Amino acid sequence: MMSQTSLESKLEALQCHFTWDLGEPSRSKLSRLRYQLEDIGTEEGNSWLGHIYNLRGYVQYKLGFTQDAQSLFNKAAEAFCQTRRADSDEGPWLVVNYGNLAWLHHHLGEQAESQAYLSKVDALMNKYPSPSQDELHPEIYAEKAWTLMKLGADITLATDYFQRAIRMQPDMVEWKTSHVLLLAKAAGNFNTRLEGDVLERIRIAKEEDPENLYLAVHYLEQNAKTMEKERVEDEARELTEKILRNPVSSYSGLKALLWIYIRHVSVDEAIDLAEEALKHHPDVRYLKRCVALCYRVKIYFGEDGSRDQSMIDRAISLHEEVISLYPRSFIMKKIDLANICAKSNHSLDKAEQIYQELLWRDLDPADKQLVYNRYANHKHFALRDSCRSAQYHMKAAEIPIQSFYRQNSITILEQIRNRNWHQMRREVEEFLENLPEPEM
């Protein structure tokens, strides 16, 4: 039995989720990530299944569910054996997984088991050394890149890790696909036209990975901006047939396809498509989210005459169900529900009640900032209360966390400052002069 100091030294040297600098995400962010990973699904053939289970296990550990974490780490090992289709049950793809198990057993006080996994890592590293002494094994780079991508952490670093992995092992198609999707994310979201170089990389990746419908949908989304409407509709419907035949998953491309319908075909057809998918899989919560999204867009941005009370009632019912299915990731969904209620003929009081419940909750500062910003907008647009709206925008802005919501509130406050007639102008002007710098 090695000494405690020696054990901890070896644990610190491992390449795994417990040693990577993944930051300290809030509990609400971890819960959202947990649901996102669960919604990817566990169907056979998903080449990232082992990585998904590994990250799910780590998230569950951070949330305090150690038993779940161990079960998920064990499932990761099984998934790698399936997806790699190796002659041996072991390979370099298990280095991160064994490292996670070594750390988990250490935290549980099970030092003998921890040492056993340390020995397994040593054996794998000796049997499958990195092609270069100065670099990690490509399997480790790929998993590290994928993990950073899912956490929305350092995109530049994740891109670099993918490049290193692909350079050393260029035959891994799924690495190339994830790499180009990450490049697209780094270049700008899918609402904006990408530069030619990135778009060409997506086209090449699509040719190399023709079964990846998630990638195909994003490629269509980019090209739709310059295509004739009829051709967009034809290609969207062709992808629709393929996606509906595949297992349900957030990786299926359905949500991105719905956005194509919303932006380039019609919101009503997007609703019909989402409802059809849900009819075939009525118990899948991810599909309920997709249907709720379509109704929300219709209600938020449709013409007043195009939304009737029955549609709003359907949207309210769906959002209430989605909230119950994602109980630890409720804030944005409750805000969406409140904003839909504000459009209803008989639910404005319910909208206020939902916001008041959120305002009184003990939330993380970032979540509190989000609620203040959205409530300020609700006060202005739904209740025409410009003064109370300004007060809540100030509450959002004074939380020194850089975010879209803080910047939105500051922008609105600057507009108020420039309006001589506004009752809050002087108060807002003084507030902006003394506004603290945000945390980076």
Q: Cα–Cα distance between 88 and 3 in angstroms, integer?
A: 32
Considering the chain, what percentage of its residues have pLDDT values greater than 90?
76
Residue 186 has pLDDT above 90, yes or no: no
**What does the pLDDT look like over 47-81, one tens digit per residue?**
899 999 999 999 999 999 999 999 999 999 999 98
Q: What pLDDT is attached to residue 4?
A: 74
Residue 288 has pLDDT above 80, yes or no: yes
- What is the reported pTM? 0.90
- For 326-398, where are the E strands, in sequence order? none
Name the residue among 357, 23, 24 with its Cα closest to residue 157.
23
Q: Cα–Cα distance between 117 and 67 in angstroms, integer?
A: 17
**What does the pLDDT look like over 397-439, one tens digit per residue?**
999 999 999 999 999 999 999 998 999 999 999 999 999 777 6
Residue 193 has pLDDT above 80, yes or no: no
The confidence band for 329, taking pLDDT boundaries of 50, 70 and 90, is: confident
**What does the pLDDT look like over 102-141, one tens digit per residue?**
999 999 999 999 999 999 999 999 999 998 888 999 999 9
260 vs 88, residue with greater confidence: 260
Q: What pLDDT is attached to residue 190?
A: 46
Q: Cα–Cα distance between 309 and 288 in angstroms, integer?
A: 20
Over residues 292-309, the mean pLDDT reads 83
Count Cα atoms within 13 angstroms, Cβ side, for 126.
6
Cα→Cα distances 247→37, 267, 329, Å: 15, 24, 24
Q: What pLDDT is attached to residue 316?
A: 95
Given a contact cutoff of 8 angstroms between Cβ atoms, the answer to whether 262 and 236 are in contact is no
**What does the pLDDT look like over 352-408, one tens digit per residue?**
999 999 999 999 999 999 999 999 999 999 999 999 999 999 999 999 999 999 999
Which residues are CB-neighbours of 190 under 8 A, at least 6 positions away?
Answer: 184, 218, 221, 222, 256, 259
Q: What pLDDT is attached to residue 306?
A: 61
Question: How does the average pLDDT of the chain come out, rounded?
Answer: 91
Q: Which amino acid is at 217?
A: V
Residue 45 has pLDDT above 70, yes or no: no
Which residues are CB-neighbours of 23 under 8 A, at least 6 positions away?
Answer: 151, 153
Region of 212 on the Ramachandran plot (φ > 0 left; ψ -120 to 50 alpha; else beta): beta
Count Cα atoms within 13 angstroms, Cβ side, for 349.
1
Whole-angstrom Cα Rg for the chain: 24
Which residues are CB-neighbours of 433 under 8 A, at least 6 positions away?
Answer: none
Lowest mean pLDDT among 44-48, 54-58, 176-180, 239-243: 44-48
- Kindly give the interhelix angle for 66-84 and 95-107, rounded to the nearest 10 degrees: 170
Residue 192 has pLDDT above 60, yes or no: no
